[in-house]
Amino acid sequence: MQKILLQFDTDPLPSSFDRVVAVDAGVDQLMSYGGVTCENVVPLVHGAMFTRGPEDLKNTAIFIGGSGVKDGEKLLRRVTETFFGPLRVSVMMDSNGCNTTAAAAVVSAARHQQLRGSMAIVLGGTGPVGQRVARMLALRGARVRIASRSLQRAEVACQQVRASVPEAVVEPVETAVVDDWKELLGGTQILVSAGAAGAELMPTGALEAAGDLRVAIDLNAVPPAGVAGIKPADKAAERDGTICYGAIGVGGLKMRIHRIAVQRLFERNDLVLDAEAILELAEQLDRS
Amino acid sequence: MQKILLQFDTDPLPSSFDRVVAVDAGVDQLMSYGGVTCENVVPLVHGAMFTRGPEDLKNTAIFIGGSGVKDGEKLLRRVTETFFGPLRVSVMMDSNGCNTTAAAAVVSAARHQQLRGSMAIVLGGTGPVGQRVARMLALRGARVRIASRSLQRAEVACQQVRASVPEAVVEPVETAVVDDWKELLGGTQILVSAGAAGAELMPTGALEAAGDLRVAIDLNAVPPAGVAGIKPADKAAERDGTICYGAIGVGGLKMRIHRIAVQRLFERNDLVLDAEAILELAEQLDRS
Amino acid sequence: MQKILLQFDTDPLPSSFDRVVAVDAGVDQLMSYGGVTCENVVPLVHGAMFTRGPEDLKNTAIFIGGSGVKDGEKLLRRVTETFFGPLRVSVMMDSNGCNTTAAAAVVSAARHQQLRGSMAIVLGGTGPVGQRVARMLALRGARVRIASRSLQRAEVACQQVRASVPEAVVEPVETAVVDDWKELLGGTQILVSAGAAGAELMPTGALEAAGDLRVAIDLNAVPPAGVAGIKPADKAAERDGTICYGAIGVGGLKMRIHRIAVQRLFERNDLVLDAEAILELAEQLDRS
């Protein structure tokens, strides 16, 4: 029986990135849909539920993607609500690569610094990937500061992390005007920068000044760097005493997590792979 | 040479149901199009006609689907008109599952009651599936009453059945207000309910009262039942002396008909699988 | 590793013709997009560039098609501009079949008449295929006259040929009112007619009168013929001393060129198959 993946993309044209990865993960038949919304998704889900017997439904799965993470989250909810009884298929949500990228960053950091009890800061922490990073760090027991140019947006992001991870120790920090990066980063072991492409979030000199920093990860692939001094290809490169990763440096792991997660969908018919499950899967992968 | 199925769907997003069934029927390459109309279909048909030699054209076929049966019928006509000489491929039309569902119901009824000479009633007989059921019953020599809340719509449906099956003995019946279901169903051996989801077409008590009824089939899968007393999973279940089928009870046969019909498309390059051909195919399948 | 072809079509529904040919060329996974523009194509190209390692990128390729050749040309430019360093995949452009059809016509002509130094005329020379024919003939050293009902449009087409082929000897000719086809075609050895379907570009009698003509090719498949007297199935048929090809007569070669070009895409990751490259490939194919 062929492995069928239904790709539900919230953008008009379904992501070619997600399509290629699905093929390389071993999917036999990829059925890609663009412009999928909560309004038109139900018949598509019914087509997955009602076409194969319950014992064969593990050979059908759903992937939710697109550039909008909030849209993807809503769609995930709508899809899982449509299932009933044994008539369900496994679902993965990775809009904008948010879960696989964040998991790759968090697992990379954990190679060098125990997360539990650490202090972490997430620059661009209100964005789609940044929020996922903060959530995963909090889930693993790090104290997290979510940094944004807007304190208000950072506070909203903190509340969302707390909603997903009740035990989270998370607080907002404003980074529009930082006089003293050394002071800001004092006592912080982990830094992840997840801002929009083309924005420098941390200036030249800040990385050297951050004496307590053990790992710094910049997820921005397009120049200028989000953290001045980190190169995209950095992969556990030591710079001024800090272990650095760039976007390409974590990219290989991200791709492997993405592929493994897609493969995992076909082992059962009732998995929901969102942030927590994808982080666990990434940790297993990194250990093996 | 790979078996290619072009899926022309009249809805914006091509049916995932039809896609999964096509894959499970053994199609190698499925090319799915949504939003197909009589205006944009011709170049798509040309692409099927002009890309392979006449002797290889049996490896390319067209499936017409979507929620609108009338749109599907028009599209079928436009597609077959576009062919000429040996430059043609086989085509199946099954918008809204109308043909495969109706064929499954009619074949299920025929297991228990000879159709020729029987009296049959089709509740919701003006809908997409109901009209197909009436047409197939008439084609096999049953006298058919098409029931609807509107006598006028029932009469239009009767005319359409007569247009397809000139020898049809078919008459309309209004069921908006029925005082006496026992009287209405007197002398009727076959009942098929094919109304819209969520509408109870026959109330509690009516089934027990219908003394002549031999087979009752309710094609509604979503509660409430179209015929009070029939359960979706009923499959030749006897209830008050009547053999009952529910939507799930005929669903397995419907799926097999659908798959076999798709497979059949690739045996020749000149088949047109609409109501009559799909009924014949269902009958062969049920005998084998 | 599966061979993935991304089909970028500028029409709303991606060409089924190009899809079938891609499958028959051995593509494993075809990812078809309709409505692709310079505005939305970049993320699709990134998906091709960033999903496989540089050494594996020859297994991913892009095909640009659709009815608009100008749109296809712009899209080709946008796609190739998006690549950088080793992060690139091979691309073929064949909007409206312009390159493969023109190459088939030019290679067919060259079987019977040496192109270098010949005089050629292209009727309908301002259209998408006609311009490609003129460009390819000029590239091989023929002197080319581009004929159109509008002298001005013919002149524009000549300028475009010169822009692609600096050494081209090309001149415009108006064919709205031709008193004497014998005079017009005097000294001309090669004629290719590439006008729109349904337009007779050369009347009855003109072909017989053209004493110097050695090869005449009519690319119009739909009656009436573009050149009165040539039949669609003509394949090196001699008519009044001229060797004639019709649309179907060159169609087999066109299909082989199209398939071979698609296959070629997967030999390296840096090919750009536009007019020149497809002509070379067609010449190799015809020699082998």
Per-residue pLDDT of chain C (288 residues; tens, 9 = 90+): 999 999 999 999 999 999 999 999 999 999 999 999 999 999 999 999 999 999 999 999 999 999 999 999 999 999 999 999 999 999 999 999 999 999 999 999 999 999 999 999 999 999 999 999 999 999 999 999 999 999 999 999 999 999 999 999 999 999 988 889 999 999 999 999 999 888 899 999 899 988 899 999 999 887 888 999 999 999 999 998 999 999 999 999 999 999 999 999 999 999 999 999 999 999 999 988
pLDDT given at position C215: 98
Q: Does residue B179 carry a pLDDT above 90?
A: no
By the CB < 8 Å criterion, does A21 face chain C? yes
The backbone torsions φ and ψ at residue A101, rounded to the nearest 5 degrees and listed phi first, read: -70, -45
By the CB < 8 Å criterion, does A54 face chain B? no
By the CB < 8 Å criterion, does C16 face chain B? yes
The answer to whether the CB atoms of B24 and A1 lie below 8 A apart is yes
Q: Does residue B223 carry a pLDDT above 90?
A: no
| Tokens standing for residue B29 | 């390459």
Cβ(C244)–Cβ(C230) below 8 Å: yes
Q: How confident is the model at residue A230 (pLDDT cuts 50, 70, 90)?
A: very high
B-chain residues within 8 Å CB-CB of A60?
20
Can you tell me the distance from the alpha carbon of A179 to that of B230, in angstroms, rounded to the nearest whole number?
A: 75
The backbone torsions φ and ψ at residue C194, rounded to the nearest 5 degrees and listed phi first, read: -135, 40
Order of all β-strands in the sheet with B235-239: B169-174, B143-148, B119-123, B190-193, B215-218, B242-245, B235-239
The answer to whether the CB atoms of A17 and C60 lie below 8 A apart is no
| Closest Cβ opposite residue B2 in set C13, C16, C23 | C23
List of long-range contacts for C41-44, beta carbons under 8 Å, 24+ apart: C41/C8, C41/C75, C41/C78, C41/C79, C41/C82, C42/C78, C42/C82, C43/A13, C43/A15, C43/A16, C43/A17, C44/A13, C44/A16, C44/C6, C44/C8
Topology adopted by domain A4-97+253-287? Rossmann fold (3.40.50)
| Tokens standing for residue C179 | 């008193």
Query: Residue A201: which of A180, A177, A183, A182 has the closest Cα?
Result: A177
The domain C101-250 is placed in CATH, from the list 1.10.274.10, 3.40.50.12280, 1.10.3720.10, 3.40.50.720, at: 3.40.50.720
State the sign of the Cα–Cα–Cα–Cα dihedral B54, B273, B4, B40. Answer: positive
Q: Does residue B240 carry a pLDDT above 90?
A: no
Residue with token string 């492997």: A256
pLDDT in tens, A17-43: 999 999 999 999 999 999 999 999 999
pLDDT in tens, A135-157: 999 999 999 999 999 999 999 99
pLDDT given at position C224: 86
By the CB < 8 Å criterion, does A28 face chain C? no
Q: Which residues are bridge partners to B190 per DSSP?
A: B120, B215
**How many CB atoms are located within 10 Å of the residue A150 CB?**
14
By the CB < 8 Å criterion, does A47 face chain B? yes
Cβ(C79)–Cβ(C91) below 8 Å: yes
Selected for mutation to probe chain A from B20, B95, B101, B255 (highest A CB count within 10 Å) is B20
Query: Residue C23: which of C259, C288, C229, C264 has the closest Cα?
Result: C259
pLDDT given at position C196: 85
Cβ(B279)–Cβ(B286) below 8 Å: no
Cβ(B181)–Cβ(B202) below 8 Å: yes
pLDDT given at position C198: 81
The answer to whether the CB atoms of C19 and B31 lie below 8 A apart is yes
The mean pLDDT value for B249-262 works out to 96
pLDDT given at position A224: 86
Q: How confident is the model at residue B68 (pLDDT cuts 50, 70, 90)?
A: very high
The mean pLDDT value for B217-227 works out to 89
By the CB < 8 Å criterion, does B51 face chain C? yes
The answer to whether the CB atoms of B44 and C12 lie below 8 A apart is no
Same fold, C4-97+253-287 and C101-250: yes
Domain positions in chain A are 4-97+253-287, 101-250
Report helix angle A275-287 to A98-110, nearest 10: 40
Say how many Å lie between the first and final Cα of chain B, rounded: 29
The answer to whether the CB atoms of B23 and A40 lie below 8 A apart is no
The backbone torsions φ and ψ at residue C250, rounded to the nearest 5 degrees and listed phi first, read: -100, -5
Distance of CA C141 to the CA centre of its chain: 17
pLDDT given at position C282: 97
- ipTM (interface pTM): 0.92
Report helix angle C128-139 to C98-110, nearest 10: 40
pTM: 0.94
pLDDT given at position B123: 97
By the CB < 8 Å criterion, does B47 face chain C? yes
Residues 247-286 of B with CB under 8 A from A: 251, 255
Cis peptide before C14 (omega within 30 of 0): no
**Averaged pLDDT score across all residues of chain B:** 95
Nearest C-alpha of chain B: how many angstroms from A8?
11
Q: How confident is the model at residue A117 (pLDDT cuts 50, 70, 90)?
A: very high
Q: How confident is the model at residue B196 (pLDDT cuts 50, 70, 90)?
A: confident
